[in-house]
Structure 1
Amino acid sequence: MLSAAIQILAFALALLGVLGTTVATLLPNWKVSINVWSSIITPISQMQGLWMDCVWYSSGVFSCTMKNSVLSLPAYMQTTRAAMVLSCMVASFGLCLASLGLKCTRWGGSHRAKGHTAIAAGGCFILASFLCLVPASWFTNEVITTFLTTDLPDSSKYQPGGALCVTFISAGFLLAGGVIFCLSCPGKRTRRPDHTSSTDPDRFVLYPPQDKPEQDPKQKLYSSPSKLPPKDIKDSYSLQEYV
C-alpha cells in the first residue's frame, strides 16, 4: 500500500480537480466572441456558458441572461450540462471515500478495508475525469468547427473560452489523483516464521516436550485396586474365592 504522504498528495490533487470542475461548470465563458468593439454603447465582449449568456460593455456594465429553455439548446450543450453536473457529484462522492481510505486517518476500518475504500475513491475520480474530458472535447470541437465552416460575420463567431481550459486542467488533476488512489491496493502480508534468532533475549519459544523412555510396567505403583493391571485384578478375585 502507498505511503500516507503520497495519498495526501493524491487527495490534494483530487480536491483541486473537484473545485476546478465546479467553478468551470458555473463560469459563463465557455465560448467568447472574437470581435472587440470600440464604441461606448456597443459591447466589448460577448460570452456564452452552460447556464447563462453574458455581455460586457465598454462602460463597465456586465449583464447576464439565464438560459431558461433547455429544449432550445443544441445537443452538445445539453450533454455538456448533464455530464459536468454528474462529474461534480461523482467527484464529491470520491472525496468522501478518499477521506475514509487515507492511512493517516483513524476511521475507515482495518488496513485492508482502507485499501479497498481508496481503490473505490480512485475509480470515482477517474470516472469524473472522463465525464469532464468527453463533453469538453465535444464542446471545443463544435466551437472550432462552427468558426471554420460558417460564413458568419466576425461579430457572430466564437472561440473557446477560459472555462474550457479550467475544465481540462481539472480533469487532469482528477485523473492523476484517481490513478494514485488505485495503486493503494493492500498487499498480501507475509507470515512470520516460527523460529527466532538466538541473539534476541526478549523473545521466548516453547518447544514440544521430548519423548522420555517408557518405564517398565512392573515398576509402576498403583494406589488402589481399581488401577491395578487386569492380570492382578483377576488374581485377587481368585484368591477371594478360596478364602
Structure 2
Amino acid sequence: MASAGMQILAFVLALLGVFGATVATLLPNWKVSADVGSNIITAISQMQGLWMDCTWYSTGMFSCTLKYSVLSLPAYLQTARTAMVLSCVLAALGLCLASLGLKCTRWGGGRRAKGRTAMASGVCFVLAGVLCLIPASWFTNEVITSFLDSSVPESSKFEPGGAVYVAFVSAGFLFAGGSIFCTSCPGKRYGPPALIFASPDKLQQQQHQQQQQQLHPELLHPDQPQTHPEQLHTEQLHHDPLHQDQQYGGPLQPPAPDSRAGYSLQDYV
C-alpha cells in the first residue's frame, strides 16, 4: 500500500494534471498557422482552438470568433471537446475522493475506507488521463496529416500549438498520480482474514461458541470423562503433600510443645 508521502506526491501530480487539462481545454492555440511560403501581410498569426478561432494582426489587434455551431465542426474537434470536458470532470471528482483517502487527513473513515476511497480516486485519475490523451493524439494526427497534404495551400497549413503539449503533459501527470493511488488497495492487512470477509451471522455464531467454551470447558474435549467439582477437590487434597504429612504425621508435622517450657527457677528455690 502506498505510504502517506507517496499519496501526497500523487495528489500534487494529480492537481497539476487537473490544472493543465483545464487550461488546455480553454486555450485557443490547439493549432497555429505555420510559417511556410508567402503569408498574408495583414495577419501575423492565426490560432484555432476547441471553442474559438483567434487572429493576431500586424496592427496589434487581437480578435477571436466563437464556434457556435457544433454540428458544423469536424469529428475530431467534436470528440476533443467532449473528451476534454469529461476529463476535467473526472479529474475534479478524483481530487475530491483523494482528499478523503489521504492517510494524513482525519476525515474519510477508517483505514480500509480510506484505502478504497484512494483506489477509487486513482481510477478516476487514470480515466481522466485517457480522456485527455485521446483528443490530444487525434488532434495532433489530423494537424500533421493536413500539413503533409500537398493539396492544401500553404496559407492554410497549421502545426500543433501549445495547448496540445499542455494536454499531453497533463495526461502524464494524471496517469502518474492515478497509478500511485491505485496501489492503495487495503488488502488483508487491517484485521484477521477470517473476520474481514465473514458475514455478520457467522461472526455472531463464532462469538457464541467462544462464550459457550469459556462457560463449559468440557466442550473443548468431549471424549474425555467429565470430572465433578467434588471429585476434583478430593483429588487435589489427595495429591497435596502438605495435607498428606498432616494426616499421617509426616516430617512436615509441627513438633509438640515442650512440657518444661512453662517452669521457672523460682519453682525449685
TM-score normalised to the size of structure 1?
0.77
State the secondary structure of the residue aligned to 1:97: helix
Q: CA deviation digits over 1:95-150, x for unaligned, max 9?
A: 00000000000000000000000000000000000001111111111111111124
The 5 Å alignment of 1:166-185 reads 166-185=166-185
Structure 1 residues 37 and 143, CA gap change in structure 2 (3 angstroms): closer
Q: Does 1:215 align with 2:202?
A: no
What corresponds to 1:151 in structure 2? 151
The 5 Å alignment of 1:2-17 reads 2-17=2-17
Cα displacement (A) at 1:191: 6.8
Cα displacement (A) at 1:189: 2.8
Structure 1 residues 80 and 13, CA gap change in structure 2 (3 angstroms): same
Return the alpha-carbon distance in structure 2 between the equivalents of residues 109 and 191 of structure 1: 16
Counterpart amino acid of 1:50?
L
Cα displacement (A) at 1:214: 2.1
Give the RMSD, CA atoms, in angstroms.
Answer: 2.7
Counterpart amino acid of 2:4?
A
Percentage identity across aligned positions? 70
The 5 Å alignment of 1:55-70 reads 55-70=55-70
What corresponds to 2:241 in structure 1? none
Unpaired stretches in structure 1, ≥5 consecutive residues: 193-207, 220-243
Which deviates more, 52-61 or 24-33?
Answer: 52-61
State the secondary structure of the residue aligned to 1:32: strand
What corresponds to 2:221 in structure 1? none
Structure 1 residues 85 and 191, CA gap change in structure 2 (3 angstroms): closer
Return the alpha-carbon distance in structure 2 between the equivalents of residues 40 and 133 of structure 1: 34
Structure 1 residues 100 and 214, CA gap change in structure 2 (3 angstroms): same
Structure 1 residues 215 and 69, CA gap change in structure 2 (3 angstroms): closer
What corresponds to 2:112 in structure 1? 112
TM-score normalised to the size of structure 2?
0.70
The 5 Å alignment of 1:228-243 reads none
Cα displacement (A) at 1:61: 1.2
* Total equivalences in the alignment: 202
What corresponds to 1:97 in structure 2? 97
2:32, 2:159 within 8 Å by CA — same for their partners in 1? Answer: yes
Larger radius of gyration: 2
Counterpart amino acid of 1:85?
V
Counterpart amino acid of 1:135?
P
Unpaired stretches in structure 2, ≥5 consecutive residues: 193-213, 215-226, 238-269
State the secondary structure of the residue aligned to 1:214: helix
Structure 1 residues 26 and 190, CA gap change in structure 2 (3 angstroms): closer
State the secondary structure of the residue aligned to 2:148: helix
State the secondary structure of the residue aligned to 1:119: helix
What corresponds to 1:201 in structure 2? none
The structure with the greater share of residues assigned to helix is 2
